[in-house]
Amino acid sequence: MELHLTEKAVSVETCSFCHKKKPFVFICLVTLLLFLSYHISKQGWLQVEPLYTNQDTIGNGSFLTILVWYWPFGYRYPLEGDVCKDQYHIPGCRLTDQRSLYHQANAVVFHHRELQQRLQVLPLNLLRPPHQKRIWVSLESPENSGDLSHYSNVFNWTMTYRRDADIPIPYGELIRKQAVNSSSDSIEDSITQNKSKLVCWVVSNYNARHRRIQVYKSLIKTIPVEVYGKWNKRPLASANLLPTMSHCYFYLSFENSLSKDYITEKLWHNAYMSGAVPVVLGASLEDYKAVAPPNSFIHIDDFASVEELGSYLRNLSQNQQKYASYQAWRRDYKVKCLWSWVERFCRICLHHHNLSAQTVYQDLQAWVTG
Ligand SMILES: *[C@@H]1O[C@H](CO)[C@@H](O)[C@H](O)[C@H]1NC(C)=O
Ligand SMILES: *[C@@H]1O[C@H](CO)[C@@H](O)[C@H](O)[C@H]1NC(C)=O
Ligand SMILES: *[C@@H]1O[C@H](CO)[C@@H](O)[C@H](O)[C@H]1NC(C)=O
Ligand SMILES: *[C@@H]1O[C@H](CO)[C@@H](O)[C@H](O)[C@H]1NC(C)=O
Ligand SMILES: *[C@@H]1O[C@H](CO)[C@@H](O)[C@H](O)[C@H]1NC(C)=O
Ligand SMILES: *[C@@H]1O[C@H](CO)[C@@H](O)[C@H](O)[C@H]1NC(C)=O
């Protein structure tokens, strides 16, 4: 091929049009042909970019490689050693934030917030190894996710608090205890003895249009509510939150978005971890039942009116035995909050093998709002 083109290049000198007015065009043409012949002989017809071959298959032996393209909220976690195994008992999972490992990555993770704020962009210019997954990660409710219509056909998997996400990352979960502690009636008693306030609430974001504000305003006509937080100018340092709430019979775990499976630390941390019984407003009763045992929370949809809810709470606080039944689940479960992005990302490896090999979210917006 090259030889042939070289001959052509020589023959250009003697061809019939060369001494006419277009020698420049011919020099360009010859240069182009030489350039192409070089690449044709080296890499095959017009294949200028590298091709992935079987030798280059992604991953690293039995390790999956999960690449965090940038850190959520810009907060970097250290990844020295085998973090997933050492910290979370998840073996075979190499978590990295080194973009140079892109070509080995089984999955690349993109946190939504930075894309939405245009602080980060997707590397759509990079050739993607076959089988590599792009994962969309978000902990925001649909109403805080902005316009997702331009992310059609971009992501292969979703990773959110929703149970039906490919990689579910709830804000918290209950873990069944290994051995049920039969002598632990005292758990309920010690929690119950600490109580002095009926209903407590921590709120920083006051929006009169939120359903939770309307419910709060009706509720205080029936029973007293201790309100903490920025809105009420009674801020609580995070170290004081659990000890303060441990004195409350009930905690208002009122979400600011009423969306499918959107159950945040207001349940797992503020209520369950403090020992207050959560009164929940947000996702449907079915969503709560799917992740929390019955008699561990009080859903406002179970009441015909807010007055009835208030009356129920007051009665319950006056009936030690019945109130203690709302704490009985603690014998069988312990609460786990998922705070760490490292742990969340390590969980990709737990699900990786079970997930559909070839997928793409053709309409992410529809999935998120659906
Ligand atoms: C594979 O991943 C492990 C764990 O991070 C690392 O120690 C090892 O050097 C990697 N091997 C290759 C060939 O990249
Ligand atoms: C069982 O409960 C008692 C009382 O709450 C506690 O002292 C003990 O450590 C518990 N044992 C286990 C194995 O959890
Ligand atoms: C009782 O209240 C104190 C704070 O006043 C708290 O430190 C402790 O954990 C509470 N006990 C229980 C069982 O909730
Ligand atoms: C609370 O107790 C009062 C008095 O016993 C009773 O009339 C009322 O129906 C109870 N409220 C609820 C919601 O159970
Ligand atoms: C993956 O599938 C296996 C076999 O069906 C199952 O035992 C395992 O629990 C699944 N893992 C997850 C994280 O769903
Ligand atoms: C991932 O999604 C892209 C669309 O962005 C698609 O072209 C690719 O085939 C999908 N890959 C896998 C392994 O599902």
For 286-295, how does the pLDDT look when each residue is reduced to its tens digit (9 = 90+)?
A: 999 999 999 9
Q: Ligand 4 centroid vs 222 CA: distance in angstroms? A: 13
Q: Ligand 5 centroid vs 53 CA: distance in angstroms? A: 30
Q: Which ligand minimizes its atom distance to the CA of 303? A: 4
CB 136 within 8 A of CB 361: yes
CB 254 within 8 A of CB 216: yes
pLDDT at 32: 61
Residue ranges covered by each domain of the chain: 2-43, 64-169+341-369, 173-337
| DSSP annotation of 266 | I
Residues 6+ apart with CB under 8 A from 43: 51
Question: Does 237 score more than 50 pLDDT?
Answer: yes
Catalytic residues: 140
The protein residue whose alpha carbon is closest to atom 4 in ligand 4 is 315
pLDDT in tens, 149-179: 999 999 999 999 999 999 999 999 999 988 7
pLDDT at 24: 63
The protein residue whose alpha carbon is closest to atom 8 in ligand 5 is 354
CB 328 within 8 A of CB 188: yes
The protein residue whose alpha carbon is closest to atom 2 in ligand 4 is 315
The protein residue whose alpha carbon is closest to atom 14 in ligand 5 is 351
pLDDT at 18: 42
Percentage with pLDDT > 70 across the chain:
82
Q: Which atom of ligand 2 is nearest to the CA of 177?
A: 14
CB 317 within 8 A of CB 195: yes
pLDDT at 34: 56
- pLDDT tier at 29, thresholds 50, 70, 90: low
User: Which has more pLDDT, 175 or 25?
Assistant: 175
**Helix, strand or coil, per DSSP, at residue 28:** helix
> Could you tell me the two tokens for 162?
């929703």
Which helix H or strand E contains 263, and what residues bound it? none
Average the pLDDT over 183-187 and give the result: 67
Q: Which atom of ligand 3 is nearest to the CA of 274?
A: 14
pLDDT in tens, 58-78: 666 789 999 999 999 999 999
**Helix, strand or coil, per DSSP, at residue 299:** strand
Distance, CA of 43 to chain centre: 41
Instruction: Measure the N-to-C terminal CA separation of the chain; round to a whole number of Å.
Output: 57
**Poorest-confidence range of 15-29, 52-66, 194-208, 257-271?**
15-29
**Poorest-confidence range of 30-34, 339-343, 357-361?**
30-34
Average the pLDDT over 74-103 and give the result: 95
| DSSP annotation of 234 | B
Beta strands in the chain (DSSP E): 64-68, 93-96, 107-111, 133-137, 157-160, 167-168, 172-176, 197-202, 225-228, 248-254, 277-281, 298-299, 333-337
Q: Which ligand minimizes its atom distance to the CA of 273? A: 3
- Confidence (pTM): 0.81
CA distance 276 to 11: 91
pLDDT at 33: 58
Residues 6+ apart with CB under 8 A from 83: 95, 342, 346
CA distance 44 to 138: 42
* Strand 107-111 relative to strand 93-96, pairing: unpaired
Report phi then psi at 138, rounded to 5: -160, 145
| Domain 173-337, CATH homologous superfamily name and number | Glycosyl transferase family 10, C-terminal domain (3.40.50.11660)
Question: Does 21 score more than 80 pLDDT?
Answer: no
pLDDT at 183: 62
Q: Which ligand minimizes its atom distance to the CA of 245? A: 3
Query: Average model confidence (pLDDT) for the chain?
Result: 86
Q: Which atom of ligand 5 is nearest to the CA of 354?
A: 1
pLDDT in tens, 265-300: 999 999 999 999 999 999 999 999 999 999 999 999
User: Which has more pLDDT, 190 or 85?
Assistant: 85
Q: For 208-214, which contacts have Cβ atoms below 8 Å and span 24 or more sequence positions?
A: 210/256, 211/258, 211/281, 212/252, 212/254, 212/255, 212/256, 212/281
Q: Is the CB of 91 under 6 A from ligand 3?
A: no
The protein residue whose alpha carbon is closest to atom 8 in ligand 6 is 360
pLDDT at 43: 40
Average the pLDDT over 72-88 and give the result: 95
Q: Which atom of ligand 2 is nearest to the CA of 187?
A: 5
CA distance 298 to 317: 13
CB 180 within 8 A of CB 230: no
Task: Output the CA torsion 301→302→306→309 (10° steps).
Answer: -140
CA distance 131 to 360: 12
CB 201 within 8 A of CB 252: yes
pLDDT at 259: 96
Average the pLDDT over 40-49 and give the result: 39
Question: Does 17 score more than 70 pLDDT?
Answer: no
Q: Ligand 6 centroid vs 122 CA: distance in angstroms? A: 14
Average the pLDDT over 115-137 and give the result: 93
